[in-house]
Amino acid sequence: MFELFLYHIHFYLLNSILHSSTTEAEEINRLHFYFLWAASFVLLVVTVATIYVIYKYRHHENGQEYQPKTLSGKWEIAMIGVPLAMVVVFFFLMLKTMHHILPSADGKKPDVVITGHQYWWEAQYPGTRVTAANEIHLPVGRTILLKLLSADVIHDWWVPQFGNKMDLISGRQNYLWLNIKEPGIYTGACSEFCGAQHAGMRIRVVAQQESEYIKWLQEHQQVATISDTLAQSGAQIFQSETCGNCHNINGTASNGKAGPDLSHIASRQTLLTGILENNKENLTRWIQDPQKIKPGAHMPKFFLDKHSIDALVAYLSSLK
């Protein structure tokens, strides 16, 4: 009866506190919960023992001389044995989980290559010509391999519901396996301090069914078409104001790599790694004064007149 009760409590807490949206997170959270039970037990024993001892052996003002009592030395051996046994158990549990969720990636082709930049994410899809930024689309229902690189300082990939983190380190290649269970939007954040806008380097993953994912990839291989005249003048301003030195837009002369790829910026739901909703108003505010919205970001203020900004916004908003 009691076991059953504990069993229910265990799974209730496991599922309500730690959300596991990948099989990797499931394994980590299961191990985490075993640990939390063991740790709570140790803490309970220490707390109860402390309270018992300080209550029982508190000083009494009764004038009698007290005789110190001594604990048997045998306890000492037990106190080495019990923690050591716990260490051994958790060591083997750790080995098992660790090898399960992060097997070697030797020679395997990654599904997505993610590069960290100060303060945004680039996602390339090998085998296609697709490069996305900030909103990272991933397929559900199969195990995928992410390759993690950095263009500048150390960043760290972490979507809490996906489980493990992994650093993106300049000069190194790191890998991460994921098997996302359900489609949906998952958010996370860069977790290694990377400079002024570390806090503004959020992660937004769009997990999709395989069919939708493939459809998305195909759409993004196309070049966006613009018909509107305002947008067309925006395209010219984009060139003349040197926006293309940092940003890439497929099918145009703009091929910069320092800033996020804008080929399909209008198809994203958010701007600036998920800080703002993607709409014309926010895009205007951003182009007017980037440092006001995300101080420390590498996009400079261009001092453009209102007409140019409107044209640029019209252009970017049509890049579906």
- Asked if 145 and 114 touch (Cβ cutoff 8 Å), the reply is no
Shortest Cβ 24–other proteins spacing (Å): 9
Which of 5/55 has CB closer to other proteins?
55
Shortest Cβ 293–other proteins spacing (Å): 11
Which of 83/251 has CB closer to other proteins?
83
Contacts 24+ apart (CB under 8 A), 167-170: 167/192, 168/114, 168/115, 168/116
3 state DSSP class of 229? helix
Which of 141/160 has CB closer to other proteins?
160
Q: Are strands 166-168 and 135-139 parallel, antiparallel or unpaired?
A: unpaired
Which of 117/264 has CB closer to other proteins?
117
Q: List CB contacts of 183: < 8 A, sequence separation 6 or more.
A: 140, 207, 208, 209, 212
Tally of residues, the chain: 320
And the tokens for 157? 């990939």
CA 108 to the chain's CA centroid: 23
Q: Which helix (H) or strand (E) holds 55?
A: helix 23-56
CA distance 313 to 176: 36
The CA distances from residue 167 to 51, 99, 200, 268, in Å, are 43, 18, 17, 25
Which of 230/285 has CB closer to other proteins?
285
Shortest Cβ 236–other proteins spacing (Å): 34
Shortest Cβ 290–other proteins spacing (Å): 13
- Asked if 238 and 263 touch (Cβ cutoff 8 Å), the reply is no
How many Cα neighbours within 13 Å face the side chain of 306? 1
Shortest Cβ 42–other proteins spacing (Å): 6
Shortest Cβ 287–other proteins spacing (Å): 20
Which of 115/164 has CB closer to other proteins?
164
Shortest Cβ 231–other proteins spacing (Å): 31
Which of 164/248 has CB closer to other proteins?
164
Radius of gyration for the alpha carbons in the chain, expressed in angstroms and rounded:
27
14-40 b/e (C-beta count within 10 Å ≥ 16 → b) = beeebebbbbbbbbbbbbbbeebeeee
Which of 168/226 has CB closer to other proteins?
168
User: Which has the closest alpha carbon to 115: 102, 125, 101?
Assistant: 125
Shortest Cβ 61–other proteins spacing (Å): 10
Shortest Cβ 158–other proteins spacing (Å): 7
Which of 167/212 has CB closer to other proteins?
167
